[in-house]
């Protein structure tokens, strides 16, 4: 049995639909209480752990960094230490926000980190804590997650695109949108492979292809959804937010393909599946 931290998030929902897992919500394992997370692992005695829970409010983290640091930093460390003690693998989902977004080249797993804000700092702290536990682990960095569940860019665009004729969307931030279902499948595959081959421990990247700007992503969303909303490209400076976003979120995922046999998913196919799921829900 795989124990999943997170129950209502995008990847956690997909994990429950995909595999035989036990998913823990906040009522069963509060990530603000790292000791409770450790106790949950002891209580369930799983074959592997996937941490799909996180404080994801990028802007909110600027004023609630202590909470973000606990949820994204201390809690994963507590999980990883128990997993190390029990000799079981942990897969921990991290983020492109650990990088500073400079340049245009894809960031490799060994590239220097340099988070721009509190959210990125909290995710980087979680990575360090998981590595520091010394057990079998994979830190899987991903980007621009979307699914039919919860809040995300695609759902926001669908709502606004149905209400307006034109939208201003940032065009100078580039990355790989990633379907949550593909992340979930990758996590399960990695957890199972780690159990057989602990030498695969390390940091890996997994993001959708092709890389695109938010504005380009919005255009594809509207095209696939049959919405006539026009997208106007704007600079990040024209859409200020409390937290800075990386301009370059491109991730080099070649090592993940080489070691685990997991290729980058085509996010356009994932978007098509998502729109079908939403249509089915509405029906």
Q: What is the secondary structure of 11-54 as a DSSP string?
A: HHHHHHHHS-EEEE-TTT--TT-HHHHHHHHHHH--SEEEE---
Beta strands in the chain (DSSP E): 2-5, 21-24, 48-51, 90-95, 137-142, 145-146, 166-170, 174-175, 178-179, 202-205, 212-213, 230-234, 248-249
- Residue closest to 5 by CA, chosen among 191, 142, 136: 191
Cis preceding linkage at 228, omega within 30: no
Q: CA torsion sign, 87 to 132 to 264 to 223?
A: positive
Say if strands 21-24 and 2-5 run parallel, antiparallel, or are unpaired: parallel
Q: So which residues are the catalytic ones?
A: 119
Beta strands in 144-238 (DSSP E): 145-146, 166-170, 174-175, 178-179, 202-205, 212-213, 230-234
């Amino acid at each position: 049995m795989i124990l999943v931290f997170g129950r209502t998030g995008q990847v956690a929902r997909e994990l429950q639909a995909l595999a035989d897992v036990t998913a823990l919500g906040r009522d069963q394992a509060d990530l603000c209480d790292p000791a409770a997370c450790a106790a949950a692992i002891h209580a369930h005695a799983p074959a592997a752990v996937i941490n799909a829970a996180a404080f994801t409010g990028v802007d909110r983290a600027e004023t609630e960094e202590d909470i973000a640091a606990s949820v994204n930093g201390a809690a994963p460390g507590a999980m990883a230490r128990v997993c190390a003690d029990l000799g079981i693998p942990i897969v921990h989902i991290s983020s492109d926000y650990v990088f500073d977004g400079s340049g245009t080249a894809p960031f490799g797993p060994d590239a220097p980190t340099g988070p721009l804000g509190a959210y990125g700092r909290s995710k980087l702290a979680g990575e360090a804590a998981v590595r520091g536990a010394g057990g079998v682990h994979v830190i899987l960095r991903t980007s621009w997650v979307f699914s039919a569940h919860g809040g995300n860019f695609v759902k926001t665009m669908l709502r606004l695109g149905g209400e307006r004729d034109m939208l201003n969307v940032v065009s100078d931030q580039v990355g790989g949108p990633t379907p949550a279902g593909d992340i979930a499948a990758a996590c399960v595959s990695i957890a199972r492979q780690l159990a057989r081959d602990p030498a695969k421990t390390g940091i890996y990247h997994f993001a959708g292809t092709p890389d695109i700007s938010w504005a380009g992503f919005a255009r594809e969303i509207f095209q696939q959804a049959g919405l006539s909303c026009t997208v106007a490209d704007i600079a990040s400076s024209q859409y200020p937010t409390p937290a800075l976003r990386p301009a370059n979120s491109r991730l080099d995922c070649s090592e993940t393909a080489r070691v685990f046999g997991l290729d980058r998913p085509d996010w356009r196919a994932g978007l098509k599946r998502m729109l079908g799921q939403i249509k089915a829900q509405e029906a």
